[in-house]
Amino acid sequence: MATRGRQLSYELEQLICEKYNNGILLREIAEKSHISEVTIMKVLRRNKVPLRQGKQVSSDKEKLVIDLYKAGGSIARIKTESGVKSEQTIYHAIKTGVTALEDHFLVPYADPARISMIFFLVRLDCPEIFYAVTVKLRKWPQSDNLEILPEYLFDKKTIRQQQKAMSARVEKLARAVSTKTELEKELYIHDFICENIHYDKLKKPYSHEIIGPLGHGVGVCEGIAKSVKVLCDALGVWCIIVISEANPKKKIKYRHAWNIVKIGKTYYHLDATFDLSLSKTLTRHDYFNLSDDAIFRDHEPIMTDHVPCTDGSHFYYLEKKLSFTKQEEVKKRAAQAAKKKKPFLFHWRGGYLTREILKKLLIGIEEAAKEKGKQAKVSLNWMQAVLCVEFEDMDEAVAVSMQKSDDVDNVEIEQANEGELL
C-alpha cells in the first residue's frame, strides 16, 4: 500500500525533492519509493519545488518513443522499452477524443510541438481518422493539462455518414481476398490502387485522406499511403506509413509518403504512388517490395528511424521471373511478347545498367520486334532498371523511316511522381 504524504519523514521528503530536481520521473520515484504519484506531488508542493511543465521526458527518450512507434511498436512495447508514459496518455486521449468527435478534451501538459507530432502519428497510424487534420491547443492557468480543440473537415453528421461509407467500402474490398496469402493480399491492394486511383494534381484537401482514393478515386501520396494501410489493416497485413523530407537541392519540393509492409517475417518498401504515376495504361510494379538499397535510389531518406528492409527476394519482377541477367534472354522474351503483341515489362539485374548495356538490350529488342513484323517503343525507369516495351504493327513505309531503336537518346526516360506537400 502506498504511504500517505503526511506520514513521510523529513529525510524521505528531502530525498524525493532531490530525485525530482535531478530529473527523475515521477513514475520512477513512485515505483522505487512505493509512494503514490499524488503523494509525491503533494510533497513537492509542500517543499515549494518548481514543477516541470511537461519536460519530464528527455529529448532522447522522446525520439525513442517516436522511432519505436514509426517502426511499428505497440503501446506496450513503447512503454517497456522507453519508460515513457505521458506520450502514451496523450496518444490515447487524442485517438479517443477525435474518434468520439469531441469538440474539446484534455491531455497531460507537453510541449506543443510534441503534441503536434503525436497527433501526426495518430493520423498516420489510424487512417480511418480522415476528418480531423489539425488541432488547436489551449492552456489554462494553474492547470497540469492542455485542452485539445480538433478542427474537423466536415460537420459531425457528414462525418458519420462518410465513416459508414468508408467502412463498407474497405470491408467490401477486403472480403475479396480475405483467404489469400499475405503476399497475394498486398499485390491485390497495390493493383487496386494503381488501376482505380488517379493522381490528383489539384491536391484537394480530401485527396490527402482515404476518402480521396477510396471515395472519389483520386489521391496524392499521403492519401494513397493511408489507403494502402487501411486496407492492409483490414486484411491483417502489417503496414506502416513512412515520410521523407523535401530536398530543394534536387528540385524535390515536397515531402513524400509511402508504406513499409511485413510479409512473413521480412519488411519491404511499397510505393503505390510511384507505380501509378509511371503509366496510364499499364499496371506497374517497379516499387513493389523493394529493399532499402533499391528504394533510396530515387527516394529521399525517411524522416525518422525505420525498420530495416534488407531483403529484395519478393521484388515483383524477380518473383514473376521477369528479372534478367543475360541479354539473349531479354531478346528471347521480347520476341515472345512481340508475337502476342503484348507489353514486355522487365527488370535488368545483370550489373549496373550503363548506356552501353542499354544499347545492346535495345538492339536485341529491335531485332526481336522486326522478326515478328513489329516496331518497339521503349521507355525506361533508369533508377530502378525497369524497361517497358510496347509493340505495334509496322508496315514497310514505317520500317524505312523508323529511327533506330539502338539510339539510347531515343528512349523515353520515365519519371515517377516525387511527392506532394503533407
Report residue 135 as a C-alpha cell. 488541432
Report residue 187 as a C-alpha cell. 499485390
- Cell 497527433 -> residue: 119
Nearest to 209 by CA among 220, 200, 198, 199: 220
Average pLDDT taken over every residue of the chain: 84
The domain 322-413 is placed in CATH, from the list 3.30.110, 2.70.98, 3.30.70, 1.10.860, at 3.30.110
Report residue 82 as a C-alpha cell. 522507453
Distance CA 210, CA 220 (A): 10
Per-residue pLDDT of 166-175, as tens digits, reads 999 999 999 9
Nearest to 286 by CA among 257, 323, 250: 323
The residue that leads in pLDDT, 198 or 17, is: 198
Share of the chain above pLDDT 90, in %: 55
Q: Where are the domains of the chain?
A: 5-46, 59-152, 164-318, 322-413
* 295 φ/ψ sector (left φ>0, alpha ψ -120 to 50, else beta): alpha
Per-residue pLDDT of 390-416, as tens digits, reads 998 876 434 333 334 456 666 777 777
164-318: CATH class: alpha beta
pLDDT tier for residue 5 given thresholds of 50, 70 and 90: very low
Residue 254: predicted pLDDT: 83
Three-state secondary structure call for residue 295:
helix
Q: How many CB atoms lie under 10 A from the CB of residue 204?
A: 15
Per-residue pLDDT of 251-281, as tens digits, reads 788 889 999 999 999 999 999 999 999 988 8
Residue pair 353/325 in contact (Cβ under 8 Å)? The answer is: no
Distance CA 418, CA 422 (A): 13
E-strand spans in 69-112?
105-108
Q: Please say if the pLDDT value at position 15 is more than 80.
A: yes
Q: Please say if the pLDDT value at position 129 is more than 50.
A: yes
Residue 3: predicted pLDDT: 41
Per-residue pLDDT of 269-321, as tens digits, reads 999 999 999 988 899 999 999 999 999 999 999 987 788 999 988 899 999 99
The domain 59-152 is placed in CATH, from the list 3.40.50, 3.30.1370, 1.10.1060, 3.40.720, at 3.30.1370
Report residue 10 as a C-alpha cell. 523529513
Q: Please say if the pLDDT value at position 83 is more than 60.
A: no
